[in-house]
Amino acid sequence: MFKKILIANRGEIAVRIIRACHEMGIQTVAVYSEVDKTALHTQMADEAICIGPAKSKDSYLNMQNILSATVLTGAEAIHPGFGFLSENSKFAQMCEECNIKFIGPDSQNIDNMGNKLKAREIMIKAGVPVVPGSEGAIDSEEDAISSAQKIGYPVMIKASAGGGGRGIRVVTKEEDLINAFNTAKTESKTAFGDDTMYMEKFIEEPRHIEFQILADEHGNVIHLGERDCSIQRRNQKVIEEAPGVAMTEELRKQMGEVAVIAAKSIKYKNAGTIEFLLDKYGKYYFMEMNTRIQVEHPITEMITGVDLVKAQIMIASGQVLPYKQKDIKIQGHAIECRINAENPSKNFMPCPGEIKSLHLPGGNGVRIDSAAYQGYKIPPTYDSMIGKLIVHGKDRQEALCKMRRALGEFIIEGVDTNIDFQFKIVNNKNFINGNFDTSFISKEFKNI
């Protein structure tokens, strides 16, 4: 087992990883940017090294500085968390070359799955159902028009390098196509430095169902059930729950097996997520694979009892997966609300600033993953997520009651948050009845 791990991330996920390391008796090294000198992850780790100015590209994306910090502190492995360098195959490869263990899949795995177009091709070959769409990249406006005609409107234009809901446009009629194609292309170039685009059939009123995978370095692959992440705003997740309300034991078995086949087809290693769309008729389609730990991983931990971050570390150290598929039992129901510093009435504009007062909910079945503390100044530079509120109940009904109760206890003063908005969602009749799909927020909350 590793003696020392460097965490190449910030915020709640860095704290989450440090906690797992400390429970495992592993020393931790935090890296931080100049604005994160007093951030919780910087303070909680055994050692902390400044890796550059606030801007991500100069610090949390600065591969040279992060590798130097690793060598300097004698850390043997790097945990990349999510976002930042977590899905950067070049970084994973540089780690491999420096003999530093990247806690995640190998660079080849990331290469294969990070590019959504390539991932589609690989999945088609493996016999995994994918969303119907263009055969390859869409290079020109003419190509876009003819592909859309072939696929049939509505279509979705997607960036091959995309992530976090960016570089995506839905088009319902031909006259809107060229404009949407060009704006999505520009957005992708700006966000990901790549403007390879492709097109999919727009699946109407689907649920977003994703399967958590764990794969060791000896060929063993299991799934840990699904998460329903249909509550989204602009293709970004807002609430996630596990298990999914629309799932049956039979469907879980089928989709889980497909997810395992998908992971095995690329000899995938470590934790990963296979995202599917489940349509109104019960048909499911592979959408993408995330080759990293996900924001919403705690809900799977709550219902399976498996610590996914510890599992990642154990796998990376070469251990054999200590669970077989039959050992994974789903117990109860978990829900996660992402708590963001943003103002829902101002089009969800991020609201950085000082947290003047903070009271976190607690009690039986309530978990908070956050890097916030009273007096902490949220910098404007990074993601606006300040924490995650996760609850676990014996069934969905109890989990919902706990979530309402916990959101009610939550107090954050000094910055605007989406807590009231989350409260409205968990009190919405259609949400309570499990009657929702990915269009839920846009339909139910038209005026915000």
- Among Mg ion, ligand ADP, none, the one that 156 touches (CB under a kind-dependent 5 to 8 A) is ligand ADP
Q: Least distance to ligand ADP from the beta carbon of 293, Å?
A: 8
Provide the mask over 151-170, with x wherever binding to ligand ADP is found by CB under 6 A and - wherever it is not.
-----x-----xxxx--x--
Position closest to ligand ADP via CB: 163
**Residues 304/224, Cβ–Cβ less than 8 Å:** yes
Out of 294, 304, 343, 422, which residue is the one contacting ligand ADP (CB under 6 A)? 294
The reply to whether 206 sits near ligand ADP by the rule CB under 6 A is: yes
Rule CB under 5 A: which residues touch Mg ion? 275
Residue 59 CB contacts under 8 Å (≥ 6 apart), including other chains:
31, 32, 33, 34, 51, 52, 53, 65
Q: Least distance to Mg ion from the beta carbon of 237, Å?
A: 8
The reply to whether 380 sits near ligand ADP by the rule CB under 6 A is: no
Amino acid letter, 295 = V
Decide whether 22 or 189 has the Cβ nearer to ligand ADP.
189
Decide whether 2 or 91 has the Cβ nearer to ligand ADP.
91
The reply to whether 235 sits near ligand ADP by the rule CB under 6 A is: yes
Q: How far apart are CA 431 and CA 443, in angstroms?
A: 12
**Helix, strand and coil percent figures for the chain, each rounded to 5:** 35, 25, 35
The reply to whether 440 sits near ligand ADP by the rule CB under 6 A is: no
Write down how long the chain is: 448
**Residues 361/407, Cβ–Cβ less than 8 Å:** yes
- Among ligand ADP, Mg ion, none, the one that 203 touches (CB under a kind-dependent 5 to 8 A) is ligand ADP
Interstrand relation of 101-102 and 77-79 (parallel, antiparallel or unpaired): parallel
CA 328, 231, 189, 83 torsion-angle sign = negative
- Show contacts with ligand ADP in window 18-47 (CB under 6 A): none
CA 216, 220, 221, 222 torsion-angle sign = negative
- Among Mg ion, ligand ADP, none, the one that 228 touches (CB under a kind-dependent 5 to 8 A) is none
Decide whether 13 or 77 has the Cβ nearer to ligand ADP.
13
Out of 29, 131, 138, 426, which residue is the one contacting ligand ADP (CB under 6 A)? 131
- Show contacts with ligand ADP in window 383-402 (CB under 6 A): 383
**Residues 87/163, Cβ–Cβ less than 8 Å:** yes
Q: Least distance to ligand ADP from the beta carbon of 151, Å?
A: 10
Nearest to 107 by CA among 132, 80, 128, 126: 80
The reply to whether 216 sits near ligand ADP by the rule CB under 6 A is: no
Decide whether 101 or 158 has the Cβ nearer to Mg ion.
158
Decide whether 61 or 407 has the Cβ nearer to ligand ADP.
61
Residues noted as catalytic: 292
Decide whether 31 or 271 has the Cβ nearer to Mg ion.
271
Taking residue 155's Cβ as centre, other Cβ atoms within 10 Å add up to: 26
Output 169-173 pairs: Cβ under 8 A, ≥24 positions apart.
170/202, 171/202, 172/202
The reply to whether 239 sits near ligand ADP by the rule CB under 6 A is: no
Q: Find where tokens 């929702």 sit.
A: 436
Beta strands in 193-351 (DSSP E): 197-201, 207-215, 221-233, 236-242, 270-278, 284-290, 333-340, 342-343, 349-350
Residues that bind ligand ADP (CB under 6 A): 82-83, 87, 131, 156, 162-165, 168, 192, 200-203, 206, 208, 232, 235-237, 275, 277, 287-288, 290, 294-296, 383, 438
